[in-house]
């Protein structure tokens, strides 16, 4: 949303007596869908326009990811279980990966909007930044809206700024070309309806983020999102460090074929969609005469624990807005801090095409090979979600 559009909407509301001024304690609540602005400058302008007419408590900047059950469960998992919170830090965590993969392209005439927006604005600045905050924030003093949002803002303010200019090695952008998704041939992005034939809008973004604070210093966080990828899945993978001394041999089996392999790291995975749940991968001894360990999985699924359909994210969020509970909505300083993280990348890509050219990847893949470049000098690779 732009500041000018907001001003027009507010003028119409004023005509019906619903908004009278910034300090009017009316029941009026305004819900604003993301993306909140196009860049840092426009987000600042939109916040100013909002606060000219409304209190912060009347503004509900909606991000539907925050209404998903597993997203809300991240804080419960971390801060209601004493066995996990002590190991969420640089001593035990090797790195974190956050993936938001979609199989859809530009269906339903969405091309005109998306070609002006792209993956960085549409997904990274809001959804992925929120997931990053929830998995890395400090415990709030209370489970209240402001206490939680205060801690999220602290995380965003601790993100190491990307150096201006070329962002190679920090972020990668790409577009899908024709390919096959779920056994169906699909066109490339530039062949989709309402897309400019020479468009450089990214449909895929991979980015490294570093947090400069006591808890997460030295732990890289890798973000990626894309259209027309192999599977529809959103998950957070917390990968722990391998023990310093390898006392056991590790075996890896595919069907009846097994072979010795290197030690496997423990992984804690928050599955946001489509099968919401949490899984823990760890090593366990195989039932055999030899002492060999194998990577096994402990799963918790919402569908297996509680019967019935989960509430839709927007159901929860709109009900919270009606009740006046802003816990799952973003605050003005939070939105601005999110934009400050991605603004250097946005500026580089929109001004230095020769320095950061658009890569390409076939539809139905996990993205471009260039995305591995952000792991430079780091012994890891993308964790592709299993079927």
- Of 12, 20, 90, 127, the active-site residue reads 127
Q: What is the rounded distance in angstroms from the CA atom of residue 189 to the CA atom of residue 105?
A: 8
pLDDT of residue 16: 46
Give which of 382, 386, 378, 313 is closest to 94, Cα–Cα.
378
In 3D, which of 288, 310, 283 has the Cα closest to residue 298?
A: 283
User: Residues in the chain with pLDDT < 70?
Assistant: 1-27, 352-355, 387
Q: Is 207 helix (H, G, I), strand (E, B) or coil?
A: strand
Strand partners, 260: 251
Residue 64 catalytic? no
Distance CA 90, CA 213 (A): 10
Contacts of 92 (CB under 8 A, 6+ apart): 240, 241
Residue 20: the pLDDT is 47
Q: Which domains are present in the chain? A: 1-62 (no CATH), 65-244+269-278+341-375 (3.30.360.10)
């Amino acid at each position: 949303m732009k500041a000018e559009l907001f001003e027009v909407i507010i003028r119409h509301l004023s005509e019906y007596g619903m908004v009278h001024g910034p300090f009017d304690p009316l029941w009026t609540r305004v819900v604003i869908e993301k993306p909140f602005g196009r860049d840092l400058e426009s987000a600042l302008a939109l916040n100013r326009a909002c606060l000219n007419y409304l209190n912060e408590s009347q503004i509900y900047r909606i991000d539907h990811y925050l209404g998903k059950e597993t997203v809300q469960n991240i804080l419960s998992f971390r801060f209601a279980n004493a066995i996990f919170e002590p190991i969420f830090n640089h001593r035990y965590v090797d790195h974190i990966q956050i993936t938001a993969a979609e199989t859809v392209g530009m269906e339903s005439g969405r091309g005109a909007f998306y070609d002006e927006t792209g993956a960085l604005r549409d997904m990274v600045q809001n959804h992925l930044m929120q997931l990053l905050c929830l998995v890395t924030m400090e415990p709030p003093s209370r489970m209240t809206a402001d206490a939680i949002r205060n801690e999220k803002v602290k995380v965003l303010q601790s993100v190491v700024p990307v150096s201006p200019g070329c962002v190679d090695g920090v972020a990668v952008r790409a577009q899908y070309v024709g390919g096959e998704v779920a056994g169906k041939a699909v066109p490339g992005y530039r062949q989709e309806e309402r897309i400019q034939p020479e468009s450089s809008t990214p449909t895929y973004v991979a980015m490294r983020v570093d947090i400069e604070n006591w808890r997460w210093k030295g732990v890289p966080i890798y973000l990626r999102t894309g259209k027309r990828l192999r599977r529809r899945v959103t998950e957070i993978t917390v990968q722990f460090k391998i023990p310093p001394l390898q006392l056991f041999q590790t075996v890896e089996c595919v069907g009846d074929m097994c072979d010795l392999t290197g030690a496997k790291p423990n992984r804690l995975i928050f599955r946001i969609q489509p099968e919401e749940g949490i899984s823990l991968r760890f090593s366990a001894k195989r039932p055999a005469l030899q002492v060999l360990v194998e990577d096994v999985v402990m799963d918790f699924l919402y569908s297996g624990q509680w019967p019935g359909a989960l509430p839709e994210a927007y159901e929860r969020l709109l009900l919270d807005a009606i009740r006046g509970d802003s816990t799952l909505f973003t605050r003005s300083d939070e939105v601005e801090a999110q934009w400050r993280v991605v603004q250097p990348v946005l500026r580089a890509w929109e001004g230095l095409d020769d320095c950061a050219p658009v890569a390409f990847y076939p539809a139905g893949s996990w993205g471009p090979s260039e995305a591995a470049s952000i792991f430079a000098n780091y012994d890891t690779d993308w964790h592709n979600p299993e079927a």
